[in-house]
Homo-oligomer: A and B are copies of this chain.
């Protein structure tokens, strides 16, 4: 049976319908796109005929070519899908973005990253999208050149800072400072820090000074910097603060890192984490070691994902407006699409949410 193949080949087009109804192709097009351009009776007749012919509406690709707009936004991720989505923060941001662009009949094309910290240039070149959104890509991602070469508008979430792109980000450094200050205020003086990737190389482990200062991931760099600088101002030497880098932001990796941090000598009495997921891992690691949070160890996270309110104990963390971040990025994308120039960066507020995972040093 070859009928399937030939069915697919010989699908009806606008012309088929036009001929069947006895009108011009333009009229059929108008029936779909500009109902006000023809009498509603004729429109009805056209739609009816189309249906009976098995015509499902204007072909999206042809329409895109004619309108020079593919009605899609490309979303560039720093890593593969499963890694990326192990952090619920991304899901929330993406959901905010999707609902915004979806309301404007745009679809979302996912572009997974690889070891370069972003999608391969060839992917970027071939993806049908008329605006790109970068989510927390390293400064060095080759994907950006490809975007520029295509002349596509770009909105950047979190990082990097790029000329001629719209940007939305949060006050990571400030948020981290707030968290560190809180802990200092509670009398802590011995700390450990748990961060997610500083480099896109997929390495987990203790962080050297060089590795830290050369980090291409701004978010990690800022949060880490916020923690360390503030501690230093509080009299804690950065050299005495062990830092563990997890190669992703999920709780198992957090648990692993926390286990290392909590077995340093002297043992930290407070752990600062770059994300809630990592913090959840700390809670687990503490329990594994027979330590009680917050009595023995204080833990703070970053993000304030919904679950932070329900962990055991509820997590003290830095709140960032994740859904807003996505929505705002969506609006910016739409705006650039409409020909707008990139406005000044949107900087979203962070705030400290004190729950039960922090306590005065005993």
Contact = CB atoms under 8 A, between A and B. Distances in A.
A99 B123 CA distance: 12
Nearest to A309: B252
Contacts of A65: 61-62, 65
B95 A82 contact: yes
A70 B128 contact: yes
A163 interface: no
A81 B110 CA distance: 12
B7 A151 contact: yes
A90 B81 CA distance: 10
Nearest to A11: B151
B123 A112 contact: no
Nearest to A255: B310
Interface stretch (A14-22, A100-108, A195-203, A295-303): A100-108
B71 A8 contact: no
B251 A128 contact: no
A60 interface: yes
A128 B7 contact: no
Contacts of A98: 80-81, 110, 112
Contacts of A60: 70, 125-128
A92 interface: yes
Interface string A45-60: 0000000001011001
Nearest to A146: B56
A68 to B, nearest CB: 8
Interface string A144-175: 00100111000000000000000000000000
A44 interface: no
A284 interface: yes
Nearest to A256: B310
A94 B82 contact: yes
Nearest to A323: B82
A70 B80 contact: no
Interface string A86-98: 1010111011001
Contact of A310 (B105, B252, B306): B252
A289 interface: no
A109 interface: yes
A214 interface: no
Contacts of A125: 56-57, 60
A77 to B, nearest CB: 10
A5 interface: yes
A99 B150 CA distance: 24
Contacts of A62: 65
A304 to B, nearest CB: 14
Interface of A: 4-5, 7-8, 11, 54, 56-57, 60-62, 64-65, 70-72, 80-86, 88, 90-92, 94-95, 98-99, 102, 105, 107-112, 122-123, 125-128, 146, 149-151, 251-252, 255, 284, 287, 306-307, 310, 312, 339, 341
20 contacts: A4-B339, A4-B341, A56-B146, A60-B125, A60-B126, A60-B128, A61-B64, A61-B128, A62-B65, A80-B95, A81-B94, A82-B91, A83-B95, A85-B94, A95-B112, A107-B111, A108-B109, A108-B112, A110-B110, A252-B310
7 smallest beta-carbon distances between A and B, as pairs: A82-B95, A85-B91, A81-B95, A56-B149, A56-B150, A60-B128, A82-B91
